[in-house]
Structure 1
Amino acid sequence: MRDFSLYFELGWQHICDWQGYDHILFVMVLCGTYLLSDWRKVLVLVTAFTIGHSITLALSALNIIHVNTSLIEFLIPVTIVITSLINIIKKKRSNTTVRLSYILALFFGLIHGLGFSNYLKSLLGSNTNITAQLLAFNVGLEFGQVLIVLCILIVSFILLNIAKIQRREWTLFLSSAIFGIALIMCIERYALIHFR
């Protein structure tokens, strides 16, 4: 049980750590265009992302797949750029765009899981029985992700309902700001890719 709480804490602290703000930016741009009243859609969206990153986190931590770390570090901000662009381009939500968001969240979760796995593998070292630690870390990541989602939904609620900012203006502001940050990250990380 002590191991579970330790890895749970490491999981949520890892995703909420501003040192790795790329994951925070992704969750913000993924959910920041929704309202508190859209909590069911946000729950499905976050669950799709969680399923994706859980799969690759487990496969990589168990050494079933091996990844080029520098390529993954480049692809993470690419997922942020794409998500930001979709938010900027689409003016209204339809059933098709909502379904596309779920599919992209799942797919992008696969990429983000590979980024989390490097951190987890460094914590586990040569430990061979990692199922409990993997589960605890993943639950911790999910908890941290929910904290970020709640914060961004509360900020959105305040801006839209109290400050009376238009929803489209908030979407454009948030998505454009995050797009700019992520694009700079892409450019910086592209130069660091080591192809094998």
Structure 2
Amino acid sequence: MGQFELYFQLGITHILDLAGFDHILFVVVLCSLYPPAQWKKILLLVTAFTIGHSVTLALATLKLINVNGALVEFLIPLTIAITAISNIRKPKVANGLQLNYLFAFFFGLIHGLGFSNYLKALLGNEASILNPLFAFNIGLEAGQLVIVASFLILSLLPLIWLKVKQRDWTIVISSIVLGMSLMMMIETKFW
């Protein structure tokens, strides 16, 4: 397996790893705002998340920033909870841009820090980290697309066949994710 394939696979594995399902929860709560027919908006959301994730992952891997790992492990579920609460309250529009796009990017910055120590250790022997980082982030985006596609297909049952209103679906999904993220925050005990 070549270097690109190795890091691409690592990116997919990172996002789809059920042991660290925080990314899955974040992508799901972002997706819950839109019906399947608005898949382009969802793709923009997850791409904004990937860009934010990539920026801090690169900065941390290059040792340009260093953040307390325990704090990051608390902040990740906090970002999920904030996004879920925003969904429940109805996302606001700031200067023509929906708040959830800003959440996706800025919270992606925090999520990127969560994997940086492990990736730094992996890249320690690489002559150049640019290609491995690129491959990892392309794999991350591919993994997110798997989550998005799965969620959209699962959403068809309640939204199309059972005629559940989109707003009700958003509140149900966001409430479930909020509860899970609160439990994750309690378990991190960074204080």
Normalised by the shorter chain, which TM-score bucket? over 0.9
Query: How far is 1:39 from its partner?
Result: 1.6
Distance 1:182 1:120 in 2: 24
Q: CA 1:95–1:160 in 2, change beyond 3 Å: closer, same or farther?
A: farther
Query: How far is 1:96 from its partner?
Result: 6.0
The one-letter amino acid of 1:159's match is P
Cα pair 1:14 1:141 within 8 Å, conserved? yes
The one-letter amino acid of 1:55's match is V
Query: How far is 1:168 from its partner?
Result: 2.2
Query: How far is 1:166 from its partner?
Result: 2.3
1:22 maps to what in 2?
22
Identity %: 54
Distance 1:63 1:171 in 2: 39
Q: Which runs of 4+ in 1 moved over 4 A?
A: 92-98
What are the residue-to-residue correspondences of 1:41-190 with 2, within 5 Å?
41-90=41-90, 99-189=98-188
TM-score for the superposition, normalised by structure 1:
0.90
1:37 maps to what in 2?
37
Q: CA 1:165–1:97 in 2, change beyond 3 Å: closer, same or farther?
A: farther
Cα pair 2:92 2:98 within 8 Å, conserved? no
Farther off after superposition, 169-178 or 113-122: 113-122
Distance 2:37 2:96 in 1: 18
Cα pair 1:34 1:153 within 8 Å, conserved? no
1:9 maps to what in 2?
9
Q: CA 1:129–1:181 in 2, change beyond 3 Å: closer, same or farther?
A: same
SS, match of residue 21 in structure 2: helix
Distance 1:97 1:76 in 2: 27
Cα pair 1:31 1:152 within 8 Å, conserved? yes
Q: Residue deviations 1:20-55, cap 9 Å, x none?
A: 101110110011221121122112211211111111
Q: Residue deviations 1:78-116, cap 9 Å, x none?
A: 0000000011111x8768685211112111010011112
Cα pair 1:8 1:140 within 8 Å, conserved? yes
The answer to whether structure 1 residue 192 and structure 2 residue 186 are counterparts is no
Aligned length: 191
TM-score for the superposition, normalised by structure 2:
0.92
Cα pair 2:29 2:177 within 8 Å, conserved? yes
Q: CA 1:98–1:173 in 2, change beyond 3 Å: closer, same or farther?
A: farther
